[in-house]
A and B are shown apart, each in its own frame.
Chain A
Amino acid sequence: MSIGVRPPSARTVALAFVAVGVVVVWPALGLGYGLFRAPAALTSAELWSALPLLRDSLLLSVAVAVSATLLGGWLAWIAERLRYPGRSALALFALLPLATPSYLLAATFERAQVMLLGPSYSLRGLVAAWLVLTLVTAPVVQLVVASALQRSSANEEEAARSLGASRVALLRSVVLPRVQAGMVFGFVLSFVYALSDFGAVAVLDAPVLTFRLYQAVASHQLGQATLYGLLLSIAAVPLLLLAGRLRGKARAGVANPRAPARLPAGTVEAGLAVGTQLMVGGLGTLLPLVELARWVARGLTQPDATFASLGIPALHTVGASFFGAVLTLLLALPVTWVAARAPRLSGIRQAGWIASALPGPLLAFGWLLCALWAGTYLGLPYGVVMSSGLLLLLGYATRFLAEAAAPLEAGILHLDPRQEAAARSLGAPRSRWLLRVVAPALTPATGGAFVLVFIAILKELPVTLLLGGPAGLSTLAFRVFDRYNEAMFHDAGLAGLILLATTLTALLFTLERP
């Protein structure tokens, strides 16, 4: 008997709307309030002066998206369709930059250049940011395209090969049409990532909107910050809407298809494949690890260098990550439940997704303005709100709602509606079904979501800087950024090593899971 899922109760729908209201509407209201409050910032002169920033942001994003799509697409193809020695380990190695925060890669990339080439010849600014962001986003594209390749059936490829199609013809006529949607989605994802990135552009001093927005907020130039925020929203929101639409198409394909036999790679092809994978994994992960270790080693050998205690940053990191993850999950659960069980209300998932994908500095700025508005019009003590850390946790919840929602939704969609029908027919109260059937079934998904969000908060920088700073928060990410800017590389190195080791462990754990 086909049993449709039971629509969510009115109470759950109300909870979901409250959750979305908290994480989406409030920061959006804050930004709206900023626009209302600072019309002076929108004079044509200032607008014209901000346009080069928009141009550079878009240029950087396009360049990153193009290079990451080509590189990531190639990485996915060689990992899924070619056969050569060490392929499996090398494919995993090329994915490791997923664990490297962009600011860590940028910082280590910059210092390694200085060491090797000297300060005069080292790359900074947009070109350096392009290289770093390409390395960070190519594995994302690789995952998306590899997933599309895994969902395309072997039959078509084998039929083409049996008809004598060359490798190029096979790629052009059979494989590319199948992974086209995934490639486009990967392109948009890396575009959005580059447009939203704060860490790499801040470390490499690239003149783009996110970095300038952060600087304007940090120096309390709210009018200018609003203008940058507005431009960033204009650039980002349509792309986020587009990405949301493409996501479903990129997932299309055959579920659990039979994989085609891998093509044996020739010497040149194998050399290219191994070289690319070594380059991406090496530059994206090994280089930061080695460079951070070098900073620490130098600190250990310099008699005047003392290491600041990591006790407080570690405590703050764990505390912020734990409570941030708990709040994010609490808000994500009703939203995901409703989105999964009431297709007509799936717009709330989209709203949460867009809010989560907004550039971190913009989102934090929205929350700051929201607190300011609440202080002005509702009489809430702004200082208390800022220093309590509540705003920071809410900022994390907005930023990582989508990250928590993905595994939760997968878990909810796996719940068997027949089990619910059976439980209802037995006359058991809903609470018994929720506690004894749903909760155990959702435990892996909830655990996975918690780990994902915990690790994401661990690495997070712009929201932590803008909303955690006033609360006196000093996380490991904060320590890396702060000490790097102060040229205290040994301290930055130690915090960075701990951070990278943690994120790498979590990534390997995640990738190992089926």
Chain B
Amino acid sequence: MTALSIRALGHHYGDTPAVHEVDLTVQPGEIVALLGRSGCGKTTVLRAIAGLLTPTRGQVAIGGQIVADGGRELVPTEKRGIGLVFQDYALFPSLTVAQNIAFGLRRGDPQRVQALLDRLQLTELAQRRPAQLSGGQQQRVGLARALAPRPSVLLLDEPFANLDGALRMELGALLRDAVAEDGAAAVLVSHDRADALALADRLALMGVGPKGGVILRDGRPEDLYLDPRGVDVAQLTGEAWFLDAEPDDVGATSVLGPIAQVDGRPTGRLCVRPESVRFTPCEGPARVRYAAFQGSFTRLVLEHPDVEGPILAAHGSLLSAGSTGRVEIARAAWIRERIDDAGA
């Protein structure tokens, strides 16, 4: 059974439209990330699922039960069987770690509490209060607390935004394991594409249409990354630049030469990812305008007399501004200005 189903969800705050005709389904054990820029309505969707607002239109169903429909709340937050994880943890400061985890459990269920303490590596911290914990530890408690009542849907609001890189990786792994073990469906809201790409089984990319936030595309992260179809999807899923080209028998031909691997249906314009650009230092027409050493690679901004706008590239060795060379493209995807134009 589908864990979460949203049909034609719409909401407006007074006269201001927030989201429009949002459809989304999430299966048990699946992590779906809602990814979009600020103000695109992803938080509104999350709040509508949680029951913290009643959407003005559409339907929300959790575990097959309709919880909101046509502007009416049918099931309140406390009876929806959801778990909420917040960016700033929202732990109960007066309770210990163990008490926080037990908060939503009948008679505390010490076995469940202990299991979660073990699973999220919190056993040593069970008797501490939130103020005595680091950010990463607090977020682990927040996750354990949300998982404790075995929710059918876990809602995560920018859960890693306050954590550094290593902690993000560690918590991401814990989250994946926990969701897999409990079979909960997880909806993750993020504006950080790295989090979303790394964690989610599926991405729901949101943008802003004339009537409010809409889902631009919904699919596996790698599919959306490699074949974005629209400029907005390309930019949401990673760095990209765009180039006019003609389809040919092999792939495509552009002012930078032939491109062997091209995804999607021909449109006349290509989306190119920096890692697909090969820059060979030599007496070529391209020139490095800006080079930023990133450790394992160097990020390049190139200019080329035949290409309008900057070319973004990633290069394996250290280069400096002013270097010249030749540019080749290994892979690209056909793209349109707007996702609607692509008929997606």
Contacts of B104 in A (CB 8 A): 423, 425-428
Interface size class of A (residues with CB under 8 A): 20 to 34
With A3-B52, A418-B88 known as contacts, the answer to whether A425 contacts B146 (CB < 8 A) is yes
Bound together, the chains give a CA A52 to CA B195 distance in angstroms of: 76
Grouping DSSP codes into helix (H, G, I), strand (E, B) and loop, the A interface class, with mixed when no group exceeds half, is helix
Distance to closest chain A CB from B98 (angstroms): 13
Distance to closest chain A CB from B330 (angstroms): 40
CB-based contact B189/A427 at 8 Å: no
* Interface 1/0 per residue, A399-424 and B, CB below 8 Å: 00000000000000000101101111
Contacts of A429 in B (CB 8 A): 78
- Determine if B186 is an interface residue (Cβ-Cβ < 8 Å): no
Bound together, the chains give a CA A418 to CA B78 distance in angstroms of: 14
* Interface 1/0 per residue, B83-106 and A, CB below 8 Å: 110111011111100010001100
CB-based contact A425/B88 at 8 Å: no
Q: For window 1-38 of chain A, which residues contact chain B by CB distance below 8 Å?
A: 1-4
Q: For window 406-465 of chain A, which residues contact chain B by CB distance below 8 Å?
A: 416, 418-419, 421-429, 432, 436-437, 440-441
CB-based contact B149/A427 at 8 Å: yes
Bound together, the chains give a CA A72 to CA B51 distance in angstroms of: 51
CB-based contact B103/A425 at 8 Å: no
Bound together, the chains give a CA A421 to CA B51 distance in angstroms of: 9
CB-based contact B93/A424 at 8 Å: no
- Determine if B59 is an interface residue (Cβ-Cβ < 8 Å): no
- Determine if B183 is an interface residue (Cβ-Cβ < 8 Å): no
- Determine if B148 is an interface residue (Cβ-Cβ < 8 Å): yes
CB-based contact A421/B92 at 8 Å: no
Contacts of A437 in B (CB 8 A): 92, 94-95
Which of A3, A423, A424, A436 contacts B94 (CB under 8 A)? A436
Distance to closest chain B CB from A310 (angstroms): 40
Distance to closest chain B CB from A484 (angstroms): 48
Q: Which residue of B lies closest to A439 (CB)?
A: B94
Stretch at the interface among B42-50, B205-213, B265-273: B42-50
Grouping DSSP codes into helix (H, G, I), strand (E, B) and loop, the B interface class, with mixed when no group exceeds half, is loop
CB-based contact B94/A426 at 8 Å: no
Bound together, the chains give a CA A420 to CA B216 distance in angstroms of: 32
CB-based contact A421/B52 at 8 Å: yes
Contacts of B235 in A (CB 8 A): none
Bound together, the chains give a CA A215 to CA B105 distance in angstroms of: 63
- Determine if B57 is an interface residue (Cβ-Cβ < 8 Å): no
Contacts of B336 in A (CB 8 A): none
* Interface 1/0 per residue, B58-83 and A, CB below 8 Å: 00000000000000000011111111
Q: Which residue of A lies closest to B153 (CB)?
A: A425
Which of A419, A428, A436, A441 contacts B78 (CB under 8 A)? A428
Bound together, the chains give a CA A436 to CA B102 distance in angstroms of: 12
CB-based contact A1/B158 at 8 Å: yes
Distance to closest chain B CB from A188 (angstroms): 35
- Determine if B145 is an interface residue (Cβ-Cβ < 8 Å): yes
Q: For window 318-332 of chain B, which residues contact chain A by CB distance below 8 Å?
A: none
Contacts of B145 in A (CB 8 A): 422, 426
CB-based contact B86/A425 at 8 Å: no
- Determine if B30 is an interface residue (Cβ-Cβ < 8 Å): no
CB-based contact A425/B77 at 8 Å: yes
Bound together, the chains give a CA A341 to CA B52 distance in angstroms of: 15
Which of B46, B81, B94, B99 contacts A427 (CB under 8 A)? B81
Would you give 10 A-B contacts (Cβ < 8 Å), ordered by A? A416-B90, A418-B88, A421-B52, A422-B86, A422-B145, A425-B82, A425-B84, A428-B78, A441-B93, A441-B94
Known interface pairs A425-B78, A441-B94; 12 further A-B residue pairs with C-beta atoms within 8 A, sorted by A's residue number: A1-B86, A421-B52, A422-B92, A422-B145, A422-B146, A425-B146, A426-B104, A426-B146, A427-B79, A436-B95, A437-B92, A441-B93
